[in-house]
Amino acid sequence: MPHADTADTCIDARHISKMYGRTSAVDDVTFRVQRGRVFGFLGPNGAGKSTTIKMLTTLVRPTSGDISILGIDAVKRPLRVRQRIGVVLQQPSYEPTLSVEKALDKYGMMWGVPGGTRRDRTESLLEEFDLAGVRSRRNEDLSIGQRRRVQVAREFMHDMDLLFLDEPTVGLDPNARRDLLDYLQNRVRATGLSIFYTTHILTEAEYLCDEIAIMNRGRLLEVDTPDALKAKLGDEKTIKIHLPYRPPNIRDLLSGMDGCRIEFGGDHRFGGGGGSRTGSRAAITIRSSESELVLLRVLGILRENRIEIEDLSAVPTSLEEIFLNMTEELKGQQGGPDAGAGGDGGGRRNSRRGGRRA
Amino acid sequence: MTHPIIRLVNRNITISLNPGFLIWQVIFPLVYIFVAGFAYAPLVQGIQFGAAKDLDYPAFLASGMIGFNIMNSTLVSGIIIWNDRRHGMFEQIMSGPFTRGHYIISNICTIAIVGLVSAAFIMAVGYPVFFEDAEISLVTIPIIVFGAVAGSVLFGSLASIISTRLSSSEGFNVIINTVFLFFAFVSTAFYPAEGVQEPLRTAFYLNPLTYLVDVIRAGIFGSVDAFVAVEVAVLAVLACALFVVASRLLTRLNV
């Protein structure tokens, strides 16, 4: 199917699927990314993120569907696509025997960047990625975090219109992670670069991305802005109750609660019998869109049974919790091996909300 | 902007030229030629080669070292593919402005360049040892160059095939070292096939290094005969066959 080179679209994926033998890695995924924006692609391990990014970067051909990158048909003209994109893959990639400085320079050379420009960019990237102190060190002698920074910095040696980053902060310490996110943000603002960013660190996506897609088991569940996702799916609050000990009958006591999801956790697993006041601390996490009502009922039950409360808090559901809920709900619907489990001690679902899909 | 293949060759040569590789390429053959060659000379009498030509052992060994070094260097260059896979650079290159065709041809070019430079180096170093017997002419130079290029492609392709088929470092090292040992010492690089007992003698001619060494030695000492012509043909066929297999495997290599 031909794609129009629309001025505002850099990625147009339509009904893309990828099968490995009989296993479906990506199943009928459709989405569009606007130019000059950061698009976050979230999903747990094995969700199909890396397969999707490999199809978008032309490393792998889709089994079916159409992909247009910067207005170019990625299946028919992969080389033309690759000439205009940058890719930082999930797994480390480096030239072990080259120094950091030489590795940056050679990577620029591979992209046909002239010598003078390479020298200038090498110097500025060494500073911006805090690599000047290890410029003469060989890649194989670097720490994992330093090597990762070289891998990301290297990609900025050449010009590009669209950058794919597959979990680029893996191995970075919190400071380096924040520095990288700030660098990317500034780069987008200054140059209009478009970024496709996969991660399973939700705070990163919330901080960096203009739009977020959530994927699980090869399927796209939602695509929207972080705020819209929270407004749409984060209408519930999370109540956390800590108990100084684990009452043996707590599951039974709360079993009749509707309109909420309850997870039991703590230092020891909840279970039948054996609990005592000298046992370990326990935690109950309750998620509900009717949190006030649910809280009153729970407090009533605890008071009636003379169960002491150590600590109680209620917070709006974070993007991370939305993500966990969505992916777990899908597991439950698909009857996965751990469907229904939740929290440390095994959860019990009373949710009234069904799974949501895009 | 230079062609993608040239850019990849530039990169391949840069990453290959590390101290370990240079020591392997320079020190090893020098020790063989000037230590082993002269130390064994009193034990090994004149070696008959071609039409009634007696070579002393250092001259015989130095000429054999050219083929040996081509094999050595191109096996190492062929390992570029292994290292690229191991260190994630294969996928990185494939996601850049290159095709698999660029990658395959650039590796073959790198291997050929390394092979030729290696051959030229040993020729230069070994020349004082064999210059009295050398009969290099306009007819034999193309044979030497052909042998060097065909041998490079052959051993480079072999290393590429091993690189694409194996995934564990241990397996790769065991195979490469075994291949190296067999090729190096079950060949005519260090000693002539004449006089060697069966089945070792037959094993010599199951080894492509024997053909490479014989062709280059014949070119240097000007003793090209019908048997050498057959060896040239065998070398060419083997190089082509292994190149085709290596290219196919590289084309199918998953990222």
Question: What's the pLDDT tens digit per position in A185-240?
Answer: 999 999 999 999 998 888 888 899 999 999 988 999 889 998 888 777 666 778 88
A72 has a pLDDT exceeding 70 = yes
From the candidate CATH numbers 3.40.50.300, 3.30.70.250, 3.40.140.10, 3.40.50.80, the one assigned to the domain spanning A236-316: 3.30.70.250
| Mean pLDDT across B157-186 | 84
A298 to A103, A317, B225: CA distances (angstroms): 60, 19, 99
Write b or e for each residue in B29-38: b if 16 or more Cβ atoms lie within 10 A of its Cβ, otherwise e.
bbebbbeebe
Taking the C-alpha atoms of residue B144 and residue A91, their distance in angstroms, rounded to an integer, is 44
Burial class (CB in 10 A: 0-12, 13-18, 19+), A246: buried
| Mean pLDDT across A31-57 | 92
Structure-token pair, residue A104: 């940056």
- pLDDT score of A341: 31
Q: Which of A19-33, A344-358, B238-252 has the lowest mean pLDDT?
A: A344-358
Instruction: Look up the pTM and report it.
Output: 0.75
Determine contact: B14 vs chain A, CB below 8 A. Answer: yes
Of residues A330 and B78, which shows the higher confidence score?
B78
Determine contact: B3 vs chain A, CB below 8 A. Answer: no
Of residues B219 and A335, which shows the higher confidence score?
B219
Contact A54 B255 (CB under 8 A): yes
For residue B94, list chain A residues with Cβ-Cβ distance below 8 A: 59
Contact A82 B91 (CB under 8 A): no
A to B CB pairs, distance under 8 Å: 64
Identify the band that residue B82 occupies on the pLDDT scale cut at 50, 70 and 90. confident
Identify the band that residue B140 occupies on the pLDDT scale cut at 50, 70 and 90. confident
CA geometry: angle A128, A132, A137, nearest 5 deg: 135
Q: How many residues does chain B have?
A: 255
Domain A9-84+160-232 class?
alpha beta
- pLDDT score of B51: 62
Identify the band that residue B128 occupies on the pLDDT scale cut at 50, 70 and 90. confident
How many C-beta atoms lie closer than 10 Å to residue A224's C-beta? 16
> If you average pLDDT over each of A297-311, B29-43, B120-134, which comes out highest?
A297-311
Task: Considering only the beta carbons, identify the residue of B18, B88, B255 that sits closest to A59.
Answer: B255
How many C-beta atoms lie closer than 10 Å to residue A91's C-beta? 13
A3 has a pLDDT exceeding 70 = no
Which stretches of chain A are DSSP H helices? 49-56, 78-82, 100-110, 115-128, 144-155, 174-191, 202-208, 226-233, 250-253, 291-304, 319-334
Instruction: Establish whether the linkage from the previous residue to B208 is cis, with ω within 30° of 0.
Output: no
A353 has a pLDDT exceeding 60 = no
A279 has a pLDDT exceeding 70 = no
Q: Which of A17-31, A104-118, A294-308, B70-84 has the lowest mean pLDDT?
A: B70-84
> If you average pLDDT over each of A71-85, B79-93, B103-117, which comes out highest?
A71-85
Cβ-contact A49, A43 below 8 angstroms: yes
A82 has a pLDDT exceeding 60 = yes
Taking the C-alpha atoms of residue B26 and residue A210, their distance in angstroms, rounded to an integer, is 57
Q: Which of A340-349, B67-76, B186-195 has the lowest mean pLDDT?
A: A340-349
Cβ-contact A211, A197 below 8 angstroms: no
For residue B102, list chain A residues with Cβ-Cβ distance below 8 A: none
| Mean pLDDT across B167-190 | 85
Chain A residue with Cα closest to B16 = A97
Taking the C-alpha atoms of residue A161 and residue A191, their distance in angstroms, rounded to an integer, is 9
For residue B2, list chain A residues with Cβ-Cβ distance below 8 A: 112
- pLDDT score of A104: 97
For residue B15, list chain A residues with Cβ-Cβ distance below 8 A: 95, 97-98, 106
Residue type, A107: Y
Q: Is there a common fold for A9-84+160-232 and A236-316?
A: no
For residue A59, list chain B residues with Cβ-Cβ distance below 8 A: 91, 94-95, 255
Mapped onto helix, strand or coil, the DSSP state of residue A33 is strand
Q: Which of A190-194, B45-49, B249-253 has the lowest mean pLDDT?
A: B45-49
Identify the band that residue B105 occupies on the pLDDT scale cut at 50, 70 and 90. confident
Cβ-contact B82, B76 below 8 angstroms: no
B49 has a pLDDT exceeding 80 = no
Chain B residue with Cα closest to A93 = B88
Burial class (CB in 10 A: 0-12, 13-18, 19+), B192: middle
Contact A98 B99 (CB under 8 A): no
For residue B7, list chain A residues with Cβ-Cβ distance below 8 A: 109-110, 112
Determine contact: A79 vs chain B, CB below 8 A. Answer: yes
- pLDDT score of A267: 55
| Mean pLDDT across A88-106 | 94
Task: Considering only the beta carbons, identify the residue of B1, B93, B94 that sits closest to A112.
Answer: B1
- The domain locations on chain A are 9-84+160-232, 236-316
Q: How many residues does chain A have?
A: 358
- pLDDT score of A1: 45
Identify the band that residue A6 occupies on the pLDDT scale cut at 50, 70 and 90. low
Report the percent of chain B where pLDDT is more than 70: 98
Report the percent of chain A where pLDDT is more than 70: 82
